[in-house]
Amino acid sequence: MELPGKILVIKPSSLGDVVHVFPALEILRRRFPGFELDFVIHPAFAEILDLSPFPVSKKILFRRKELGGLTTFWPAFRQLVREIRASRYDMVIDFQGLFRSGFLARCARSGLRAGFAEPRERSAAFFYSRKFPADPSHHAVERYAALANQLCGTDGPVPELNLKKVELPPELDRLLPERFIVLVPGARWETKVFPPALFAAAAAEVRNSFPDLAVVVAGAGADRPLAAAVAAKLPGTVDLTGRTSLLQLTGVMQRADAVLTNDSGPMHVAALVGTRVFALFGPTLPERTGPYGARHRIFRKEGLSCLGCLKRKCVFPDIPCHALDPAAVGREIGSFVASAGSGEAR
């Protein structure tokens, strides 16, 4: 029987990356029952840890804004290190793989500091006492799970998660139709943001076959102009953009029949809770950072030599990879909705 202990996980961002760590946390929970877990995370994503399969005892906030300021750096840095050093840990795991995250791992009071043998920034490995290989061509979920398995001395598959249902406040619950699809037209990179007209046309195609199926648009407050452009072409759309917390957005995703999205944090949240994802990809690599699981559908403009360029800005005036057929996207979503309605799939 394992004696009680403590684990520190360092993974400040981004939202998708934090969600990708959840299966690895489940591996740790199974191997170390009774242990406590602390987690270093960006404040914007801290709420998602309420769904962690390994309950988080303490959220240590990585306040990036303050840490990036000339006058606020030292107070914020001292506070962060003080919180990290407040406990003695049996192990520290750096899933981020940057110099700063490796340095924070070294600041912790622990003799076991684990990370990737080839982290994103090679200098991070200098701070680890144990380094584990991972295939960079594999999906992030698989790389994180591989690290956890090697650390635990196990060799199991990526575990399936059974996350709790998020209870929505009554005022939000009343806005949600009985059946609906969610559109997420925002993303962090300019090249990831497919045209709002594409989202609207694809949803209109679905509603041609399923007029009773409602449309909900969601995302961060910064995505409101994109959401407004979509809603303007789809009368009756429920616009929740900027009106939900991260945990509430998760609850909305759980209720949805399907989600049409750019490559974004909410895309990974939808995949995490088991909702079918239809994702638009161009500059990024779905095999590495797409919605995890074979049940999801990726749309790409095949035949382009620049696919997967990983560039935040496109060198072409009209982004070639955005030229998808919205009717084809809508038909695929409609086909799934039909099968889900008949009980064949969900």
Residue-wise burial string across 61-76, b where 16 or more C-beta atoms lie within 10 A, e elsewhere: bbbeebbeeeeeeeeb
What pLDDT sits at residue 200? 96
Q: Which of 131, 130, 134 is nearest to 146 (CA)?
A: 134
| Dist. CA 279–CA 264, nearest whole Å | 9
Helix, strand, coil shares of the chain, percent, nearest 5, are 40, 15, 45
Q: Which domains does the chain have, with CATH numbers?
A: 6-152 (3.40.50.2000), 170-341 (3.40.50.2000)
Q: How many Cα atoms sit within 13 Å of 206 on the Cβ side? A: 30
Q: What is the pLDDT along the chain (346 residues), one digit of tens a residue?
A: 455 799 999 999 889 999 999 999 999 999 999 999 999 999 999 999 999 999 999 999 999 999 988 899 999 999 999 999 999 999 999 999 999 999 999 999 999 999 999 999 999 999 999 999 999 889 999 999 999 999 999 998 999 998 889 999 999 999 999 999 999 999 999 999 999 999 999 999 999 989 999 999 999 999 999 999 999 999 999 999 999 999 999 999 999 999 999 999 999 999 999 999 999 999 999 998 999 988 999 999 999 999 999 999 998 888 999 999 999 999 999 999 888 754 455 5
Inter-CA distances, 24 with 42, 270, 276, 308, 316, Å:
19, 18, 22, 26, 39
* Cβ(237)–Cβ(180) below 8 Å: no
Q: What values do phi and psi take at 207, rounded to 5?
A: -70, -20
Alpha-carbon distance of 15 to 228, in angstroms, equals 24
Task: Report the pLDDT value the prediction gives residue 254, as an integer from 0 to 100.
Answer: 95
- Residues listed for the chain: 346
Q: Tell me the C-alpha distance between 216 and 21, whole Å.
A: 28
Contact 76, 98 (CB under 8 A): no
Which pLDDT belongs to residue 1?
Answer: 40
Residue 147, pLDDT score: 97
Say which residues have a Cβ less than 8 Å from residue 7's Cβ, sequence separation at least 6: 28, 32, 35, 36, 37, 38, 89, 90, 91, 92, 93
State the pLDDT at residue 341: 58
Residue with the two structure tokens 């049409």:
260
- Range list of H helices, 165-314: 170-173, 196-209, 224-232, 246-255, 265-272, 286-289
CB contact at 8 A, 157 and 133:
no
Q: Residue 23: what residue type?
A: P
pTM of the predicted structure, to 2 decimals: 0.91
